[in-house]
Amino acid sequence: MTALTLDVSTIPAGSGTFRYQVSSEGGFDYLVFCIDNPGCSRTTGFNQRWAGITSGTHTFNIPATAQTLTWKYTKDGSVNSGQDTAWIDDIIITPTGGAGNGEGSWTSPAFGPQLSGQGEPRPYGMMYLDAYIPPDADFEWSLMDAATGLPIPGFEGLTGVMLDLGVRLSCHTR
């Protein structure tokens, strides 16, 4: 199972859309989308799920009390079909009234040396944030240490949409 979770606790009620594409065993392996249920599975607790060969745009409402949005790709483990994968892209969150407090949080799967060969030919590669930043908006973010939940020194208050993760850990650890 692979999962992505987006913290939406700091926005008021709103709506959202995302594009998806699935290539999986129909009826058994799913891309699932869950609002306020990061523990959802391919069989229970989801708001929407897709299997087989399909793609499209999904539109959803975000209640004012919502805390998380979760996307998961889940398999039953018995048969491989299609490419056995799912993609999501162009996630757009629009707070009611078009304004929020400006804060957000995105948690992605782990990356690092154990995943080398799955992108750039080095243990850590370039990280790109595919985001549209309106001209009148400020965009600031930090790279967080998954073990401590704290920003990694030297990777705080970043404003660009590209970061070279070809770092020497000895320079960025306490």
Rounded to an integer, the average pLDDT of 35-52 is 79
pLDDT score for 108: 54
Rounded to an integer, the average pLDDT of 16-31 is 83
Q: What percent of the chain has pLDDT over 90?
A: 6
Rounded to an integer, the average pLDDT of 70-94 is 77
- State how far the Cα of 42 lies from the Cα of 51, in Å rounded to an integer: 10
With cut-offs at 50, 70 and 90, classify the pLDDT of residue 165: low
pLDDT score for 39: 77
Residue 116 has pLDDT above 90, yes or no: no
Taken in order of first residue, the domains within the chain and their CATH numbers are: 1-96 (2.60.120.200), 110-174 (no CATH)
- State how far the Cα of 41 lies from the Cα of 30, in Å rounded to an integer: 9
DSSP string across 105-146: EEE----SGGGTTSSSSSSS-EEE------TT----B-PBPT
